[in-house]
């Protein structure tokens, strides 16, 4: 019995070693994940912990955007729509119907996937920059509508939740923050792995074929509409996860934030910063953006000015994205090392 467990563990370790430890980019990602895992043990201020948690939420959001845009090439500038619907619906259900969070979050995610498919039908007629600019309109329209519906949706301030409706209601505030941090980190890990698997599966390859040449993939017998709608649905599903987490973490849903232009722009900036079409890129981008925001907090007046300028410089310097650049460098290094070792053996 013990022997069996032992071999099982050894097998897991060896597959982990070949799949993660021997691949430098994955090793780096694993190390960064370890840093995130042990971050709360450093007894951080609550504020910092809160910022890292929100960065995790936006990382999920940006990764979901990347699956849609980086893989199928349908540029959406209105992803705040799914973020916002997720946040509003989940808050609405738990406030007015008293449903527990583990029911409201999946319900909102499924609803958002449905919304994406329904909106997808008319939107797929529209292509290229037209699609980009028309998607921008949806969250703005919805935010105005919700803004005006004061009684159920709280108007300007959104739906405000009580502390009992937060993600993990505990008595001690700091412990609650730590517990929520681990929950959100876990969800980020799960969604990142899922999105990465989807992006590299057979379906993901079909997505890329649509990005590369739509007519050619159509000619190869691929049902383009089906796959495009599928990409929208998956992307909306995870984007709304980020929205629901945001609502239950912040405990309000201000329409100008969850449906605002900035929320639509964030995943675009993060993805381009990290590297498009990679899934890990937007996550790296989200953490880079948030750490840059925090580093320059000492100069409140010029903070935004400085970090936005730095991001622009990053994009000009590494147009492919930071994460992609790092991964390519690491791959180059391993190739060189392997060549070197090969020569030695001769």
SS3 call for 302: coil
User: 71: which 2 tokens?
Assistant: 């893989």
In 3D space, the residue among 141, 117, 344, 129 whose CA is nearest the CA of residue 231 turns out to be: 117
Q: Which is nearer to other proteins, 138 or 227 (CB)?
A: 138
In 3D space, the residue among 76, 65, 175, 88 whose CA is nearest the CA of residue 127 turns out to be: 76
Q: Which is nearer to other proteins, 10 or 127 (CB)?
A: 127
Greatest CA separation for the chain: 79
In 3D space, the residue among 260, 56, 90, 253 whose CA is nearest the CA of residue 167 turns out to be: 90
Q: Which is nearer to other proteins, 116 or 272 (CB)?
A: 272
Sorted by sequence, the CB contacts under 8 Å of residue 154 that are 6+ apart come out as: 160, 252, 253
DSSP-assigned letter for residue 223:
-
CB of 307 to other proteins, least distance (A): 10
Q: Which is nearer to other proteins, 76 or 94 (CB)?
A: 76
Q: Which of 107, 224, 261, 330 binds other proteins (CB under 8 A)?
A: 261
Q: Which is nearer to other proteins, 128 or 152 (CB)?
A: 128
Residue 276 near other proteins by CB under 8 A: yes
Q: Which is nearer to other proteins, 173 or 313 (CB)?
A: 313
Residue 126 near other proteins by CB under 8 A: yes
CB of 128 to other proteins, least distance (A): 9
In 3D space, the residue among 273, 267, 203 whose CA is nearest the CA of residue 238 turns out to be: 267
User: 94: which 2 tokens?
Assistant: 């738990």
Question: Are 54 and 242 within 8 A, CB to CB?
Answer: no
Residue 342 near other proteins by CB under 8 A: no
Residue 116 near other proteins by CB under 8 A: no
Q: Which of 52, 311, 322, 323 binds other proteins (CB under 8 A)?
A: 311
CB of 122 to other proteins, least distance (A): 5
Phi, psi of 321 (to 5 degrees): 110, 150
Residues 149-208 contacting other proteins, CB under 8 A: none
In 3D space, the residue among 282, 321, 127, 112 whose CA is nearest the CA of residue 199 turns out to be: 282
Residues 213-242 contacting other proteins, CB under 8 A: 214-215
In 3D space, the residue among 50, 113, 100 whose CA is nearest the CA of residue 246 turns out to be: 50
Q: Give start and end residues of each alpha helix (H) in the chain.
A: 2-16, 24-38, 46-66, 72, 80-96, 101-123, 128-148, 150-153, 173-199, 202-212, 214-219, 224-250, 255-258, 261-274, 280-295, 303-317, 322-345
Binding segment toward other proteins, per CB under 8 A, in 22-30, 104-112, 314-322, 329-337: 314-322
Residue 265 near other proteins by CB under 8 A: yes
The CA distance from 127 to 74, in Å, is: 8
CB of 127 to other proteins, least distance (A): 7
Q: Which is nearer to other proteins, 17 or 302 (CB)?
A: 302
Residue 13 near other proteins by CB under 8 A: no
* 228 conformational bin, left if phi > 0, alpha if psi -120 to 50, beta if neither: alpha
CB of 312 to other proteins, least distance (A): 4
Residue 296 near other proteins by CB under 8 A: no
Binding mask 65-104 for other proteins (x = CB under 8 A): ----x-----x-----------------------------
Binding mask 129-148 for other proteins (x = CB under 8 A): xx-xxx-xxx-xx--xx-xx
The CA distance from 322 to 61, in Å, is: 18
CB of 174 to other proteins, least distance (A): 33
> Which residues bind to other proteins, rule: CB under 8 A?
69, 75, 122, 125-127, 129-130, 132-134, 136-138, 140-141, 144-145, 147-148, 214-215, 261, 265, 268-269, 272-273, 276, 301-302, 304-305, 308-309, 311-312, 315-316, 319
């Amino acid at each position: 019995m013990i022997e069996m467990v032992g071999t099982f563990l050894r097998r897991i370790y060896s597959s982990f070693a070949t799949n993660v430890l021997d691949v430098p980019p994955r090793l780096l990602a694993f190390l960064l994940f370890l840093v995130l895992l042990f971050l709360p043990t450093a007894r951080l201020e609550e504020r910092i912990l809160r910022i890292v948690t929100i960065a995790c939420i936006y990382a999920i959001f940006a990764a979901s955007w990347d699956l849609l845009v980086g893989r199928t090439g349908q540029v959406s500038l209105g992803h705040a729509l799914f973020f916002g619907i997720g946040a509003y619906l989940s808050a609405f259900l738990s406030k007015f119907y008293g449903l527990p969070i583990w029911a409201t979050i999946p319900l909102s995610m499924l609803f958002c996937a449905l919304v994406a498919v329904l909106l997808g039908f008319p939107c797929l007629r529209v292509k290229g920059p037209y699609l980009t600019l028309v998607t921008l309109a949806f969250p703005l329209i919805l935010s105005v509508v919700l803004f005006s519906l004061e009684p159920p949706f709280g108007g300007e301030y959104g739906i405000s939740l009580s502390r009992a409706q937060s993600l993990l209601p505990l008595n001690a505030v700091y412990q609650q923050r730590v517990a929520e941090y681990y929950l959100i980190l876990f969800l980020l890990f799960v969604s990142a792995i899922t999105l990465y698997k989807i992006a590299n599966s057979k379906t993901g390859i079909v997505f890329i074929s649509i990005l590369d040449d739509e007519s050619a993939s159509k000619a190869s017998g691929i049902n383009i509409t089906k796959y495009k709608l599928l990409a929208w649905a998956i992307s909306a599903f995870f984007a709304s996860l980020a929205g629901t987490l945001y609502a239950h973490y912040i405990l309000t849903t201000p329409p100008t934030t969850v449906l605002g232009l900035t929320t639509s722009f964030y995943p675009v900036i993060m993805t381009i910063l990290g590297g498009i079409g990679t899934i890990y890129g937007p996550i790296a981008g989200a953490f880079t953006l948030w750490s840059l925001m925090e580093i320059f907090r000492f100069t409140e007046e010029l903070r935004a000015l400085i970090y936005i300028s730095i991001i622009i410089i990053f994009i000009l310097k590494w147009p492919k994205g930071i994460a992609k650049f790092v991964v390519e460098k690491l791959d180059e290094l391993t190739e060189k090392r392997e060549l070197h070792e090969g020569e030695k053996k001769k």
